[in-house]
Amino acid sequence: MSHTSNPVFARIAGTGSYLPQQVLSNDDLVKRGVETSDEWITSRTGIRQRHIAAEGELTSDLALQASLRALEAAGVAAEDIDLIVVGTTTPDLIFPSTATILQHKLGVAGCMAFDVNAACSGFIYALTVADKFIRSGAAGTVLVVGAETLTRMLDWNDRNTCVLFGDGAGAVVLKADHETGILSTHMHADGGKKDLLWNPVGVSAGFKVDEHNAGVRVQMAGNDVFKYAVKALDSVVDEALVANGLDKSALDWLVPHQANLRIIEATARRLDMPMERVIVTVDRHGNTSSGSVPLALDEAVRSGKVQHGQLLLLEAFGGGFAWGSVLLRY
Ligand code: UT7
């Protein structure tokens, strides 16, 4: 790519998403023997159902379907991609990266490809990295994906976590553009909160499971995470507005991470945004971690809600803790 004196933005040229076929309702969870109820899950989280990847259906398979749709919407051929970044905390394998597996499934080779693990903020982090590559001139066309099979690491006997998550993927194609696109990105992390939301096994820490860790599973102190998430998201949306010298009334859409409807509503209140201007998918998707923001974005684009030229604020919060925002003109 040649450098010019005009500022280069990373513009979203196309979006895509994919949800596995199998749907698990709240009542299905009760039927499976989880000590919960549709009333509890709906009133505390807003979740009514979630999608579950089929046996043998991997994170890269979900990513592939979402990517093909995003490439088609952008009118971009896989051969033209300079960089693939996949936000995921449930990679197909320890290595190689899911991005390289996705690259191969797309039938191409040679371009840069790597994963970003920022738990539920994986897509926001991946989008931020992609934005930097485009702004620096190091890439002109980037495929950014958020894809997860989080249900693979749930303990179905732990009602504190198993009712919350689902599987899915979303993708965007970013292209260098002189007119408009991503206006700002802000990322944060606080590693001191690791134990509040984590999966405590791994390569270096060891896969050995003791009496407290019954398996390779997500563990969460939900209420603590909830409080921290609301505060961090309040602060990150303020930060994005201040950095751009914008009043909250300038925003057309909030595209939030879909963990809990009550968290989403709290952020909307902070921004004085009516829920009609907030994209909500948590009721049908549950929390798909890195998949949630691009899934919501794709749904908003394809339903015709989000229009060219509108101002969108994307945000996410999750394990690490890691959180962040992306402000963009669509
Ligand atoms: O995406 C990454 C970021 N993750 C999040 O943002 C998640 C943040 N946390 C949350 O969304 C909420 O904290 C939860 C939905 C996880 C929990 O809601 P809560 O209102 O914070 O409930 P709680 O954890 O304070 O639990 C209230 C009660 C407890 O019973 P007692 O101790 O009051 O008798 C729980 O044992 O609800 C009980 N409970 C359940 N009951 C029925 C917890 N899970 C369930 C369940 N069904 N699935």
Domain parsing of the chain, residue ranges: 9-178, 183-329
Q: Which CATH number fits domain 9-178: 3.20.20.150, 3.40.1160.10, 3.40.50.1000, 3.40.47.10?
A: 3.40.47.10
Known active-site residue 111: no
Q: Is-same-fold flag (9-178; 183-329)?
A: yes
pLDDT at 211 over 90: no
pLDDT mean over 64-88: 98
- CATH 3.40.47.10 for the 183-329 domain, yes or no: yes
pTM of the model: 0.96
Pocket around ligand 1: residues whose beta carbon is below 6 Å from it? 36, 40-41, 44-45, 120, 159-160, 163, 222-223, 225-226, 229, 259-260, 263, 287, 317-318
Residue 268: C-alpha distances to residues 93, 125, 264 (Å): 37, 22, 6
Annotation marks residue 6 as catalytic = no
* Buried-exposed string 126-142: b where 16+ CB fall within 10 A, e elsewhere: bbbbbbebbbeeebbbb
Give Cα 276 to chain centroid, integer Å: 21
Nearest C-alpha neighbor of 45 from the set 281, 286, 300: 286
At 150, the pLDDT band (50, 70, 90 cuts) reads very high
DSSP-assigned letters across all residues of 105-144: HTT--SSEEEEE--GGGHHHHHHHHHHHHHHTTS-SEEEE
Which has the minimum average pLDDT: 38-47, 212-221, 296-305? 212-221
pLDDT of the residue at 3:
47
